[in-house]
Amino acid sequence: MTARLIDGKARAAALRMRVAEEVAALKAGHGLTPGLAVVLVGADPASEVYVRSKGKATVEAGMQSFEHRLPAETPQADLLALIARLNADPAVHGILVQLPLPAQIDEAAVLGAVAPAKDVDGFHIENAGRLATGQEAMVPCTPLGCLMLLREELGSLAGLDAVVVGRSNIVGKPMAQLLLRDSATVTVAHSRTRDLPGLCRRADILVAAVGRPKMIGAGWIKPGAVVIDVGINRTPEGLAGDVDFDAARAVAGAITPVPGGVGPMTIACLLANTVTAAARANGLPVPKGLTA
């Protein structure tokens, strides 16, 4: 058996097209153009690439893109003042502060300063709490993309055993909340989990988000399981996921590749979140299929 490939690139392209259609409808019907502001402090090469690709995708979807590039030595007070201005700007519906931030800036203070309604990354503690209690929230982009891939692959997730390997605030915890909301039975596993391979082998859905290249081998996977690999690790051989893709493909029912799996969905979901934020800010219904 060879696992079906879950083509995140193709599915992200379809979602971006859907976003562009909804943006055009908001413009035509309500004179509303969703706007996304991206803030980059310093010149981290990887961050530069991400910011460029986000800006390009935003413009391609018909939205307004506002880029704010600040020097690496920018004081925290100046960054917080910029965020306050963006919070108050009605043309800006989404605010994304590119991480990591320089050492002199308190990441938690900055993420907490973004207005929850404009927090398209879904990192604000209010959005985390709303997601955990089943209320309307801005949902983190990577877990949202994973959920969309799973729904498309499996239809209903109700009653399925799901294991999320990794407990980060950015991926692991919100991923577990989203799976719970879709009535899966969820276990969050981590480095101190006893018999981690045995636990993973019980999963109908296995989400790997630990940041360790090829940690999860074929022996960790239940035959026929759906495997979502969130990991992007740079190795001497190139990019690798948290799952040993070649080995896992012989056991799993379906699997995301790295690259070309979850990554493209993250940016597409950022665009979708910006449309969601714009609709909510103007008292309009959120278009179906753009959020959880």
Could you say which of 121, 182, 204, 229 is catalytic? 121
Rounded-to-integer distance, Cα 185 and Cα 244, Å: 25
- Element (H or E) spanning 31, and its range? none
Single out the residue of 251, 142, 262 nearest to residue 197, CA to CA: 251
- Output Rg (C-alpha) for the chain, integer angstroms: 19
Q: Which of 7, 9, 27, 54 is catalytic?
A: 54
**Burial (0-12, 13-18, 19+ Cβ within 10 Å), 80:** middle
Distances (CA, A) of 113 to 63, 95, 98, 104: 24, 11, 14, 16
Cα 271 from Cα 163, distance rounded (Å): 28
Which residue in 116, 78, 79, 126 sits closest to 99, CA to CA? 79
3-class SS of residue 274 = helix
Residue 98 is among the residues annotated as catalytic for this protein: yes
Amino acid at 175: M
- Known catalytic residues are 54, 98, 121
